[in-house]
């Protein structure tokens, strides 16, 4: 539509010139500066871009439609003006400032692309896919499909910023090449024809790829791994890897280790800190609920068990523990001790959004044993959490241990505590600190903030 408006304006100018040629006495009074793209009038938006982006980071932003800055054989539309400033803010907050905070201003000013080009529509490919972004020569990043971006939807914003982190990884890889070890992890499984119907998301996952596109080649694989780890976050990645099966999980975790080591070894960047900063911005500025404990519970993102060991762990010394729950645990130890057994600790395994497994570790003589107990977990719309004990009929040795009369009586105080109350679940307050982010979580009795238990993942 905007192209048509420009065309009509030009035709109008031509008609005026034609009329002037017939009536020489008529004065031509046309302000051609309105149509001169070489010397555009600086708008308030342009001034803001200069102050916020260009001056501090030496980055040029091109949002006014320029056909020559993308593939001229493709039809793309300009970005809407009301999308420009929110896009720049997202680039600043989720990309530039996070790297700047963790890697330092010298890194980001040295290696960041010097030009961002924004387009409103996707760039359509002949194979039915669309291009969301490109990185060219380490100096320019082009972003597409910005007109439909809803900046009140944290997931949409995160996906777009994942594109930027993906493209920036390509730039970084031009400075220091991807270690050969990375390619070897899944070398036989790369497929340039990644869009073929056989390459399903499930297949790519089982083969050790973080997305279908990651299979296209190892450079894209490395960029996809980096971007997903940073933007989707560690909990998402761990759950994704676990669901890939034993072989896929091993390959994904190996790739993760190589990505983390790459940034540490070659750029002195603490990748975990970078993950934390990206997550903090998405949570605090974009209200990203996917960073909450309840979201993790509801979406099976807790791949590791929650370990509650009141006798061990510096966190209980540093952050304290609930006197009410400690009394429950002491009652459990006493009850189990009546049969000559010793209660050591317990774990909660989050099997699904509706079921947990209580894993009770104890000692009988010199033997370390485990008792299992199943609970249904219900999470209400208001965040209330209840646990209901049930017998799944499992035949594993651990279930047999749990059904032993003396063992069941011993762990009864703990099981009654879980089944008899309404809880609220959350990351512990200290987990807002970088060193502990998403490492600790627990359950607090509703309306009784002093009655709680928590553990470490």
Radius of gyration of the chain (CA): 29
Most confident of 111-125, 127-141, 203-217, 288-302: 203-217
pLDDT of residue 3: 28
pLDDT, residue 23, reads 38
Higher pLDDT, 129 or 441: 441
Give the percent of the chain with pLDDT over 90: 77
User: Tens digits of per-residue pLDDT, 365-388?
Assistant: 999 999 999 999 999 999 999 999
Evaluate if residue 20 carries a pLDDT over 70. no
Residue 37: what pLDDT?
54
Give CA–CA dist 297/351, Å, rounded. Answer: 10
Q: What residue spans in the chain does CATH classification 3.40.390.70 cover? A: 44-298
Residue listed under structure tokens 């809880």: 423
Block residue for tokens 């603490």: 270
In the prediction, which pLDDT does 376 show?
Answer: 98
Instruction: Compute how many other C-beta atoms are within 10 angstroms of the C-beta atom of residue 68.
Output: 5
Q: Which residue has the higher pLDDT, 20 or 380?
A: 380
What count of other Cβ atoms lies within 10 Å of the Cβ of residue 447? 8
- Asked if 452 contacts 300 with a C-beta cutoff of 8 angstroms, the reply is no
Distance CA 306, CA 398 (A): 18
Residue 76 has a CB neighbour count (10 Å cut-off) of: 21
CATH code matching the domain that covers 44-298, chosen among 3.40.605.10, 3.40.390.70, 3.40.190.10, 1.10.10.410: 3.40.390.70
């Amino acid at each position: 539509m905007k192209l048509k408006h420009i065309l009509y304006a030009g035709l109008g100018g031509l008609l005026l010139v034609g009329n002037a040629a017939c009536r020489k006495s008529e004065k031509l009074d046309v302000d051609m500066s309105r149509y001169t793209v070489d010397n555009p009038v600086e708008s308030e938006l342009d001034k803001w871009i200069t102050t916020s982006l260009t001056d501090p980071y030496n980055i040029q932003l091109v949002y006014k439609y320029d056909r020559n800055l993308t593939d001229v054989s493709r039809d793309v539309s300009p970005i809407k003006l009301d999308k420009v400033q929110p896009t720049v803010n997202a680039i600043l907050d989720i990309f530039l400032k996070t790297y700047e905070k963790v890697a330092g201003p010298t890194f980001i000013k040295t290696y960041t692309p010097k030009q961002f080009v924004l387009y409103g529509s996707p760039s359509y490919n002949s194979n039915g896919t669309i291009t969301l972004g490109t990185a060219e020569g380490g100096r320019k990043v082009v972003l597409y499909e910005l007109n439909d971006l809803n900046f009140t939807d944290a997931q949409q914003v995160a996906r777009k910023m994942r594109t930027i982190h993906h493209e920036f990884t390509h730039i970084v890889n031009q400075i220091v090449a991807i270690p050969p070890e990375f390619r070897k992890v899944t070398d036989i499984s790369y497929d340039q024809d990644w869009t073929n119907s056989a390459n399903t998301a499930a297949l790519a996952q089982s083969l050790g790829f973080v997305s279908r596109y990651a299979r296209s080649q190892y450079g894209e694989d490395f960029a996809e791994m980096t971007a997903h780890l940073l933007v989707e976050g560690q909990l998402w990645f761990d759950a994704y890897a676990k669901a890939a099966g034993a072989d896929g999980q091993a390959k994904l975790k190996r790739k993760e280790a190589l990505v983390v080591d790459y940034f540490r070894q070659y750029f002195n960047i603490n990748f975990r800190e970078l993950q934390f900063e990206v997550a903090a911005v998405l949570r605090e500025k974009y209200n990203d609920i996917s960073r909450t404990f309840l979201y993790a519970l509801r979406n099976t993102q807790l791949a590791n068990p929650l370990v509650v060991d009141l006798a061990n762990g510096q966190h209980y010394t540093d952050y304290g523990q609930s006197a009410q729950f400690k009394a429950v645990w002491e009652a459990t130890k006493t009850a189990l001790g009546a049969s000559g057994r010793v209660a050591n600790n317990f774990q909660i395994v989050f099997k699904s959004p509706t079921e947990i497994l209580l894993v009770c570790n104890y000692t009988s003589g010199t033997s370390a044993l485990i008792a299992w107990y199943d609970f249904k977990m219900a999470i209400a719309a208001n965040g209330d959490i209840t646990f209901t004990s049930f017998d799944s009929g499992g035949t594993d040795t651990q279930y047999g241990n749990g059904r032993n009369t003396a063992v069941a009586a011993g762990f009864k105080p703990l099981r009654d505590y879980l089944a008899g109350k309404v809880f609220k679940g959350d990351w512990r307050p200290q987990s807002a600190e970088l060193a502990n982010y998403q490492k600790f979580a627990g359950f607090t009795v509703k309306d009784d903030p002093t009655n709680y238990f928590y553990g470490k993942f």
